[in-house]
Structure 1
């Protein structure tokens, strides 16, 4: 089976990570993709600087089969319309309890910044335990509210070590903010401990901001959410 590859594209204003994830048909040592058909991929949380995201897509010779969102805050959805101009058939997928944020700049916090952002309505709403598949990649969805009411995480299935796209739930050495409307520290900490911290210690966590981390590292050293309360 072709190994998955992941590339992050950082939107500099908020240091937000958009992720491209795909199963590569091309050896990583072979950087020349000319003449080959594009490889199907998924795009997580397209933030600002769409041109940089599109450049990364082109550099890896990808085509986007779905836009998967961890939550609906503006820094994670600002690039959706730009991506859809290039890939108009890519469905928008988001947790059921954050769907309203896509079309409401007050809910997604962009109106507060005096820079309203909206996106089209979602094509698919996710709930706890859903299993989805796009671009030959299967994911288990877990609801992990606290940073936003409908935050979800995506666990890549059929791959070891485990990979998780965590959004703004767990960061390297930190956790997501809970002081936004609909936030809850109690929900966030419970979700991190009951969902993320029960994964194997070598689980790779790809957060919405900052560097990749591992579950075992955060269980031992995260000052905001230690493994034991």
Structure 2
């Protein structure tokens, strides 16, 4: 999102709700990556059915997080269409989270907003990693895993962009420095707002579509995925192939 000062609603007064919201966002992001670590360890041990349920919960929460994250970008793009020469805009709830997070360093007005979108991106990324983890034990080609890996690469790069944007403000830059600001070369104003609003909108739109496609295929392949977490003696799931005879997906990595 546009890392610019003077954003409507970015008042210095911080309420208790703003602070609680900031704590919630940070705790959410940390919990998501703690869950990813638990899944990574669980997938290296004997089959445990709880790992499957845990991964499903992680993916579901990641989807919810991205829906909330993406609506912020949709709302900002819609505002730009109606007001292309206005300063960058955020929703009231986005501003609330930003104010709360901005308490980390009140001398840097846009830091809270940068941290908010950094956290949002990493919540989304954790959900994609969850799909890769839940399909880990299944051999053969899974479309859900293919799309999720694509999303992990894309959002991983996007996450690095947000790390650079946030770090540049935290380290004292007058404005965020990153690919979405053309490394600080674009002067503050309508040109910078336009470029950054649409850069992040497109990145999140593409990432959200990839997530949706991956979840769709995961739903279609759920029998094989769930079977990979069942006791060894159970028969593997057989999925109908789109072209040709039925194909069997065998669970991988079992003891």
TM over 0.5: no
| Higher helix residue share | 2
Q: Which category of TM-score, normalised to the shorter sequence, fits these structures?
A: under 0.3
Structure 2 length normalisation: TM-score? 0.24
Q: Is the strand fraction higher in 1 or 2?
A: 1
Larger Rg: 1 or 2? 2
Ranked by relative contact order (alpha carbons within 8 Å, sequence separation 6 or more), the top structure is: 2
